[in-house]
Amino acid sequence: MKWKLRTQLTLGFICIVLLTVAFIFMRTNRCIGRQYEAHLQQQQEEYADTIALGLSQQYSPLTSSWNVEFIHGYGMAALSQGYIVKVYDLNGQTVWDAQNHDMTQCRKLMEAIAERMQKIHSQEEGGYMEAHYNLMSDGVKVGTASVGYYGPYSMSEGDFRFLDALNKMLVSMALIAVLAAGTAGYLLARHITNPIIRVTETTREIAAGNYETRVQGKASSRELAELTAAVNDLAGTLDDQEMLRRRLVTDVAHEMRTPIANVSTHLELMAEGIWEPTRERLNACCQELSRIAGLLGDLSRLQQMESEQLVLHREPVEFKALLEDIRELFAGALQEKHIDCRLEGGSLTAEADRDRISQVLQNLMSNAVKYTPEGGSIRWTLAREEDLARISITDSGIGIDKKDLPYLFERFYRADPSRHRKTGGTGVGLTIAQAIVRTHGGRITVESTPGKGSTFTVTIPLAVPGAKNIRN
């Protein structure tokens, strides 16, 4: 069974807090216990020292005798506190002995203390201990004493109640911490999972074909914000791709319907003998078939690019000479529209596939000639930037709208379909050009101002060490 992320986060948070609280509880309890035990042991030793000091004061140097009556009261008071007192004179004779006075009471006292201690410290050994003291009077030894007690420490009923109250307080704090952790864990898990749930629901909508849907609401973290943005970008891209696909179907159908219909009509009329198969009519059919072949050729080249079958045959290419050849190729079109085409920059050589790069530059030249009005200008610029070759073409044409620039290299994207139908083209030329440039390890960019013209820039590495043939 797979648990929900919210449940896992909540339980995980509770477990972490519970383990932490348990560890702190045990460490605190152990530390307090040790400190308290050390305190009790020190207290016992200090009390025994106090008893011995009090006994020393019960000797009279004047009479050389002990105040046995006071010692008896002193000893019985000590016995009630769990201390067994014995006093001896210098000859070793017993002055007073609690065990001789009441052996039964002494035994019961020690047994009661031992039983009480074993309830909470059954793992520790304890037993009867004696501390021996020299009894002094005016700096002279007048006897000895022994103070017996249960050691190394003992606890009274009050001590037990104190520790019990302390443990109950610690347990209560632990329970409160666990409850607080559960609540905080749930709220935190909810805070984290709600954006994920929204993203999941949105991706399902996208998978169902609803590309216009977007993830709503704010993310709880930078990572979730990035995920939300990525999903929204994906939806936007898919929406754009769907639009392009529909446009492709429409455009391809339109571009092929007309020439096919024309060819079909011509052939039918000529086959039925209504029209005579003249050279002009046959040439018209050939032109229409060429339009269809051109469209199919563009589609085939695009499929080749996207299926990673492009092979580069690199060789040194001198771009100035290549551009002069291309300018000569378009000389007729340039002269017809009275366009001034200039080439700026010195010699620039790079390792590239001459035919592929020539295809890119011809495409850019063709577009510049198409969209530059009569009497306009086209300027080619060559430059070297560190280890890159930079080729730019700037025209004084109609320019490109800002909203169309991000999609200009998308397949079959045409900023103005009606304009393209007048000038020709299928909307894949720039897509193919971008693929070729990227395969060379370069990039192609565009800057444009409507009504003033556009600048396309191609940058590719000057050399690729050890590479002659590279497959994309």
Report CA 216 to chain centroid distance, whole Å. Answer: 21
Q: Where are the domains of the chain?
A: 5-171, 209-307, 310-471
The whole-number pLDDT of residue 423 equals: 47
Q: What is the reported pLDDT for 251?
A: 66
Contacts of 385 by beta carbon, 8 Å cutoff, 6+ apart: 459
Is 209-307 a CATH 3.30.420 domain? Answer: no
Report the distance separating Cα 370 and Cα 421, nearest Å.
12
- CATH code: domain 310-471 is 3.30.565.10
CB 83 within 8 A of CB 110: no
Cβ density class 235-248: b for 16+ within 10 Å, e for less? beebbeeeebeeeb
Edge-first strand order for the sheet with 388-395 is 340-344, 377-385, 388-395, 453-461, 443-449
What pLDDT does residue 50 have?
87
Residues 6+ apart with CB under 8 A from 176: none
Whether this prediction's pTM lies above 0.85 is answered by no
* CB neighbour class for 215 (10 Å; exposed up to 12, middle 13-18, buried from 19): buried
Cβ 156 vs Cβ 148: under 8 Å:
no
Q: What is the pLDDT of residue 373?
A: 93
pLDDT at 443: 94
Residue 60 CA to residue 142 CA, distance in Å, equals 10
Phi, psi for 19 (deg, rounded to 5): -65, -40
Per this entry, what is the length of the chain?
472
One digit per residue, pLDDT tens: the chain, 472 residues? 566 666 777 777 777 777 887 787 777 777 877 787 788 778 878 888 888 888 888 888 888 888 888 888 888 888 888 888 899 988 888 888 888 877 888 788 777 777 777 766 655 566 778 888 898 888 888 899 998 887 766 666 666 677 778 778 877 877 887 788 778 777 777 777 777 778 888 888 888 888 778 887 776 667 778 888 888 888 888 887 777 677 666 766 766 777 788 888 888 888 888 888 888 888 888 887 887 787 777 677 666 665 556 678 899 999 999 999 999 999 999 999 999 999 999 999 999 999 999 989 999 999 999 999 999 999 999 999 889 999 999 999 999 988 888 878 876 666 655 444 444 555 678 888 888 898 899 999 999 999 899 999 999 999 865 444 444 4
Asked if 467 contacts 440 with a C-beta cutoff of 8 angstroms, the reply is no
Tokens of 433: 């050009």
What is the torsion angle, in degrees rounded to the nearest 10, for the CA atoms of residue 289, residue 290, residue 292 and residue 296? 140
Q: What is the pLDDT of residue 338?
A: 93
Q: What is the pLDDT of residue 411?
A: 65
CATH number of 5-171: 3.30.450
- Can you tell me the distance from the alpha carbon of 113 to that of 160, in angstroms, rounded to the nearest whole number? 12
Residues 54-85: tens digit of each pLDDT: 888 888 888 888 888 888 888 888 888 888 88
